[in-house]
Amino acid sequence: MTVDLMVYLVAAVIAVPLAKKLGLGSVLGYLIAGCVIGPWGLRLISDVESIGQVSEFGVVLMLFLIGLGLDLEELWKLRGAVFIGGGAQIGITGALLSLGLIALGLAWPSALIAGYALAMSSTAIGMQVMGERNMTATPAGRTAFAILLFQDIAAIPLIAVIPLVAQLMGLGKQVANAQPVWQKALIAVGAIIAVIVAGRFLVRPILRIVAKADVREVFTAFSLLLVVGIAELMSFAGLSMALGAFMAGVLLASSEYRRALETDIEPFKGLLLGLFFIGVGMSIDFGEVIGSPGLLLLLVSGLIAIKFAVLVGISKPLGVPRKQRLAFGALLGQGGEFAFVVFNVASASKVLDGPWIPLLTAAVAISMAATPIVLIVADKLVARIARKERDADVIDERAPVIIAGFGRYGQIVARMLNGSGYPVIVLDHDPDQIELLRRFGTKVFYGDATRLDLLQAAGAREAALLVIAIDDVDDSMQLARAATEAFPNLRILARARNVRHWLELREVGIEHVERETFESALRTARSALEVMGVRPFEGRRIADRFRRSTLHTLEQMLPEFHDEQKLVARAKSGRNQLEKMLTDDRERRDADHGSGWGRTIAESKD
């Protein structure tokens, strides 16, 4: 067992970071690790059931944390998107997928379970992609979050109903003198009431006593005991352990110990859930998968196509802007982690059996891996549709400055220039943004600034300055290359999203490039130094030296941009020089006792 555990951990440590680096996410990393070490890979472990009971406890902990993190106030605020949007998505998608599986030969009770399991999307992938794309605060992001929340809740009854489906299909164990149905129902209701009463009147006082002992490991032990105890109680009553864990989490969601419980249980949940996904990967029968490539392709394409179509279809009534609808569909168009959980429970209950488990598991995993590709295709379609739907505006004005891109960055530049008496012409290809700005009296011309004919119409040949403030890095680089070649006398200022973008812009000849968050981060650092007792004059001087040193390092990196080894060495050298400079400054400041003008923020509050 010790050797097996070492194999699990080594596989996870290697596969998960590699999968995340490739943009596949940790869940797929665990699945890949299981496939590699399992019976159909290197055969390092042949007993797939060896981690079953331990890893399934990770699912129980996950559902407890979902219940614990369920903010009823936030749920009520999003009630329309959660219950209407989530209900419509699960209901329509699950029904269509179930019909498709019935058409492929699966029995209708099994098809219903599998169809509604496939209807759930990946919370891990969805939240990760929204964070990376800054979509969390957008209408599409808020709606996606609401639907994911509903899916998390809907997974509980879906898992709980599987034993009942098994009994309907005649798959339950035949036990002599079995209990009547009314007795089973009475025991189940009694267990639910016992959990509610214990959560309200017993668990919280015990938590206070344990917390007052101020022994962290005892609090952690009680946290685990709480989840295990309630899950076992529900299992004894003939209900799902997962349902019990979820109920316990909901009951404690408003507790003052909510954060402490989350902190203590999260590491156990992550590790055990990782073992669960490794077990899923190990259990995939690649003989069945390889033997039915056509069916697998049909399952993957059908899953993505149906979910994508339903999500795009319900996005308009849910208030998702037109330009975000395709991305919204792609964001949630994959299968999710809960599908693996449902398939596992359904397999144990014999509701799903034969070749369907490995095929459905592989289909979900492939759909998750395909999410980045589907998103890229959706982005390209959005850009193409936007350009075809509306012709560029006729530009009937001339100004010395042209600003390409009128988001939060371009708006500040335009306001400062206009306020200082320098007229600007603004180009943007976001129809919704343009209509919003025009309602506020701002004149913006619709059009794709990367088109040379549009730049020519805007007067780029006679203008003094072009400001590239476009969000998209690829579009920004396309415009920079086109403008420098077509208008050699036009001075260009550009916004860089990150260091790589800065180097790319400088490489094509843009002399004045500003990283979008650099100056605001420096200002925050100055304020932090003042809070810590550094005089304002010293804080400004440190920030100025930091700015000069960073820009100097970037300029030195530019000739070595395409030589990764030299680039890394140059970056490390610049970092070391900067750290030495700041250390020397600190030692000199300590020797001078912080002399300089102005009071610190801390002093000004006294």
Average confidence (pLDDT) over 496-507: 87
What does the pLDDT read at residue 3? 75
What does the pLDDT read at residue 348? 78
Residue 387 has pLDDT above 70, yes or no: no
The more confidently predicted of residues 178 and 498 is: 498
What is the 3-state secondary structure of 216-246? HHHHHHHHHHHHHHHHHHHHHCCCCHHHHHH
CA dihedral 415, 417, 423, 428 (to 10 degrees): -50
Residue 177 has pLDDT above 50, yes or no: no
Average confidence (pLDDT) over 200-204: 77
> Residues 233, 238, 241, 242: is their CA dihedral positive or negative?
negative
> pLDDT-derived band of residue 259, with 50, 70 and 90 as boundaries?
confident
What does the pLDDT read at residue 260? 79
Q: Which CATH architecture has domain 392-516?
A: 3-Layer(aba) Sandwich (3.40)
Give me the percent of the chain exceeding a pLDDT of 90: 7
Strand order in the sheet with 512-515: 445-446, 424-428, 401-404, 465-468, 491-496, 512-515
Which region among 389-393, 555-559, 583-587 has the lowest average model confidence (pLDDT)?
Answer: 389-393
pTM over 0.75: no
Which region among 66-75, 119-128, 137-146, 532-541 has the lowest average model confidence (pLDDT)?
Answer: 66-75
The more confidently predicted of residues 174 and 490 is: 490
Helix (H) or strand (E) holding 425: strand 424-428
| Cβ atoms of residues 549 and 578 within 8 Å | yes
Residue 233, token pair as written in the block: 């109680």
Residue 597 has pLDDT above 50, yes or no: no
The more confidently predicted of residues 10 and 398 is: 10
* Closest among 27, 3, 1, 2 to 16, alpha carbons compared: 27
CATH tag for 2-171+181-379 (out of 1.20.1530.20, 1.25.40.10, 2.102.10.10, 3.40.50.2300): 1.20.1530.20
DSSP reduced 3-state for 12: helix
> pLDDT-derived band of residue 94, with 50, 70 and 90 as boundaries?
very high
Average confidence (pLDDT) over 501-515: 88
Alpha-carbon separation of residue 461 from 446, 450, 452, 495, 506 (angstroms): 19, 15, 11, 21, 21
Tally of CA atoms within 13 A in the half-sphere of 191 that contains its CB: 24
Residue 443 has pLDDT above 70, yes or no: no
Mean residue pLDDT across the chain = 78
Per DSSP, which regions of 447-523 are E strands?
Answer: 465-468, 491-496, 512-515
Q: What is the pLDDT of residues 31-61, one digit of tens each?
A: 788 888 877 778 787 666 666 556 667 667 7
Which region among 5-9, 211-215, 239-243, 491-495 has the lowest average model confidence (pLDDT)?
Answer: 239-243
What are the φ and ψ backbone dihedral angles of 494, each rounded to 5 degrees? -135, 150
Average confidence (pLDDT) over 191-195: 77
CA 381 to centroid of chain Cα atoms = 22
Per DSSP, which regions of 163-280 are E strands?
Answer: none
Average confidence (pLDDT) over 414-433: 80
| Cβ atoms of residues 405 and 430 within 8 Å | no
Residue 311 has pLDDT above 80, yes or no: yes
What does the pLDDT read at residue 175? 38
Residue 82 has pLDDT above 70, yes or no: yes
> pLDDT-derived band of residue 583, with 50, 70 and 90 as boundaries?
confident
| Cβ atoms of residues 336 and 120 within 8 Å | yes
What does the pLDDT read at residue 349? 79
What does the pLDDT read at residue 520? 86
Domain ranges of the chain: 2-171+181-379, 392-516, 522-606
Residue 336 has pLDDT above 70, yes or no: yes
DSSP reduced 3-state for 560: helix
Helix (H) or strand (E) holding 461: none
What are the φ and ψ backbone dihedral angles of 11, each rounded to 5 degrees? -60, -40
> pLDDT-derived band of residue 70, with 50, 70 and 90 as boundaries?
low
Residue 503 has pLDDT above 60, yes or no: yes
Residue 163, token pair as written in the block: 């034993």
| Residue 479 to residue 459: CA distance in whole angstroms | 15
Alpha-carbon radius of gyration of the chain: 29
Average confidence (pLDDT) over 425-452: 73
> pLDDT-derived band of residue 93, with 50, 70 and 90 as boundaries?
very high
What does the pLDDT read at residue 174? 44
Residue 111, token pair as written in the block: 């098809």
Average confidence (pLDDT) over 545-556: 85
Please state the length of the chain: 606
